[in-house]
């Protein structure tokens, strides 16, 4: 009877350890394992944390090792226990004993250990990580053989650690749990929108663009420059589809003060850069940084001017609408739509509807 009790205890305890360890290791996300392994800034990570990270990075072999050990306890142990029980109880009592043993293995060797392993995953994983690595090395020849046997069934591309939708979901769950503030959730969502929006979605349309002719004399358009709410003004040639540069309002006013009022505008302008209307917002932000510019002209597939986009427009994708004390029209895209409707009405198109953009409205040339 003592031998039977020892054998049953070994089977249940061994199965419980394997089941709990497997569940605990799989319950620790790879990102969390990396965070634990990094440790505190001025402290070296513990050997257990390094071992845990190694297991999570290459989890197939450690899990296969645990499964093999679990089956050894369950199958081999059951055979040994069954032989001892047959000698003690005979064939009549063996069936009842087997049913009781099966129930105990399911309850104490599977359900309870896995529940505990999931609940205390990090603590258990750090405790058993070094032992699991050692067992994995010991069983390497057997695991290698099993990998080659199952290789045709397990071929395929490796899954990424995470993706955009999962990060968004975690953000929402964190907000619902009170771990993330609502403004942080909004900011994270706006970051992901950077590569979803294009320059055509955030630009100021051409009907709302402020521009001056390059052949104009500075003193002749002095009032227009002073009254402009923009710090950068487009300079055009024969029409708006021929943008030849951009003038800084501050430089034009400085030229007036210095007595250069008879100078043509094109002698005071700077070079302007162009971007296609399909340019993604994240790429647009990098372009602004590399060129050290604040305004660029957006062109369509035929080379015509569609509008202008500013660094402020791009940043507003992240921060929301930026308005200062000089802004007369907060939503210049809405202003452009209203202006287009007015033009159409004057032309006789009373009932024609102008389609609205889904993207958030943005500012025009940089407000002063």
What CATH number is given to the structural domain containing 213?
Answer: 3.10.580.10
Give the CA angle between residues 138, 126, 56 to the nearest 5°. 65
Checking 141-148 for CB contacts under 8 A at 24+ apart, the result is 142/68, 143/61, 143/64, 143/65, 143/68, 146/64, 146/68, 147/60, 147/61, 147/64
Identify whether residues 177 and 241 lie together within a single domain: no
Q: Residue 368: exposed, middle, or buried by beta-carbon count in 10 A (0-12, 13-18, 19+)?
A: middle
Identify whether residues 62 and 186 lie together within a single domain: no
Residue 352 pLDDT: 41
Identify the residue with better confidence: 339 or 147.
Answer: 147
Identify whether residues 136 and 277 lie together within a single domain: no
Residue 222 maps to a domain: yes
Residue 324 pLDDT: 59
Identify whether residues 63 and 79 lie together within a single domain: yes
49 Cβ contact partners less than 8 Å away, ≥ 6 residues apart: 33, 36, 37, 39, 126, 129
Identify whether residues 277 and 238 lie together within a single domain: yes
Identify whether residues 128 and 209 lie together within a single domain: no
Identify whether residues 54 and 175 lie together within a single domain: no
Identify whether residues 63 and 140 lie together within a single domain: yes
Asked if pLDDT for residue 111 goes beyond 90, the answer is yes
The number of residues making up the chain comes to: 368
Answer whether 303's CB lies under 8 Å from 354's CB.
Answer: no
Residue 363 maps to a domain: no
* pLDDT bracket for residue 355 (50, 70, 90): very low
Residue 288 maps to a domain: yes
Percent of the chain with pLDDT over 70: 83
Rounded to the nearest 10°, the torsion over CA 232, 237, 238, 243 is -60
Residue 358 maps to a domain: no
Rounded to the nearest 10°, the torsion over CA 138, 16, 27, 120 is -120
Rounded to whole angstroms, how far apart are CA atoms 188 and 100? 54
* pLDDT bracket for residue 154 (50, 70, 90): low
Identify whether residues 209 and 340 lie together within a single domain: yes
Give the CA angle between residues 173, 178, 184 to the nearest 5°. 75
* pLDDT bracket for residue 82 (50, 70, 90): confident
Residue 361 maps to a domain: no
Identify whether residues 342 and 204 lie together within a single domain: yes
Identify whether residues 204 and 337 lie together within a single domain: yes
Identify whether residues 6 and 150 lie together within a single domain: yes
What's the domain range around 148?
2-154
pLDDT per residue as tens digits for the range 229-246: 888 888 988 888 888 999
Helix or strand or coil: residue 89? Answer: helix
Rounded to whole angstroms, how far apart are CA atoms 239 and 233? 15
* pLDDT bracket for residue 343 (50, 70, 90): very low
Residue 347 pLDDT: 47
Token couple for 94 = 């063996």
pTM of the full structure: 0.55
Residue 352 maps to a domain: no
Strand-pair category, 305-310 with 295-299:
antiparallel
Rounded to whole angstroms, how far apart are CA atoms 200 and 324? 23
Residue 25 maps to a domain: yes
- Domain count of the fold of the chain: 3
Residue 31 maps to a domain: yes
């Amino acid at each position: 009877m003592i031998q039977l009790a020892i054998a049953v205890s070994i089977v249940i305890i061994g199965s419980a350890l394997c089941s709990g360890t497997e569940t605990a290791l799989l319950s620790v996300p790879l990102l969390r394992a990396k965070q634990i392994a990094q440790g505190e800034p001025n402290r070296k990570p513990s050997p257990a944390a390094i071992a845990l990270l190694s297991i999570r990075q290459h989890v197939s072999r450690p899990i296969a090792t645990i499964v093999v050990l679990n089956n050894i306890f369950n199958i081999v142990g059951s055979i040994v226990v069954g032989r001892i029980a047959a000698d003690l109880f005979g064939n009549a009592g063996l069936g009842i004993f087997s049913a009781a043993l099966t129930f105990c293995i399911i309850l104490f060797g599977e359900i309870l250990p896995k529940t505990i392993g999931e609940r205390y995953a990090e603590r258990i994983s750090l405790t058993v990580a070094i032992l699991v690595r050692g067992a994995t090395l010991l069983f390497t020849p057997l695991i290698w053989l099993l990998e080659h046997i199952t290789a045709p069934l397990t071929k395929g591309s490796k899954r990424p650690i995470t993706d955009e939708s999962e990060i968004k979901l975690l953000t929402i769950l964190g907000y619902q749990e009170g771990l993330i503030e609502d403004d942080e959730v909004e900011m994270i969502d706006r970051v992901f929108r950077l590569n979803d929006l294009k320059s055509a979605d955030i630009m100021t349309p051409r009907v709302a663009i402020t521009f001056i002719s390059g052949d104009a004399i500075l003193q002749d358009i002095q009032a227009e420059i002073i009254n402009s709410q923009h710090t950068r003004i487009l300079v055009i040639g024969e029409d708006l589809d021929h943008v030849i540069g951009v003038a800084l309002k501050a430089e034009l006013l400085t030229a007036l003060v210095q007595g250069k009022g008879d100078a043509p505008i094109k002698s005071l302008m700077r070079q302007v850069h162009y971007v296609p209307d399909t340019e993604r917002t994240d790429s647009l932000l990098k372009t602004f940084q590399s060129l050290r510019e604040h305004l660029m002209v957006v062109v369509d597939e035929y080379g015509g001017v569609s509008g202008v986009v500013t660094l402020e427009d791009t940043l507003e994708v992240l921060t929301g609408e930026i308005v200062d004390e000089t802004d007369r029209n907060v939503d210049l895209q809405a202003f452009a739509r209203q202006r287009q409707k007015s033009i159409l009405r004057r032309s006789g198109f009373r009932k024609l509807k102008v389609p609205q953009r889904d993207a958030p409205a943005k500012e025009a040339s940089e407000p002063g």
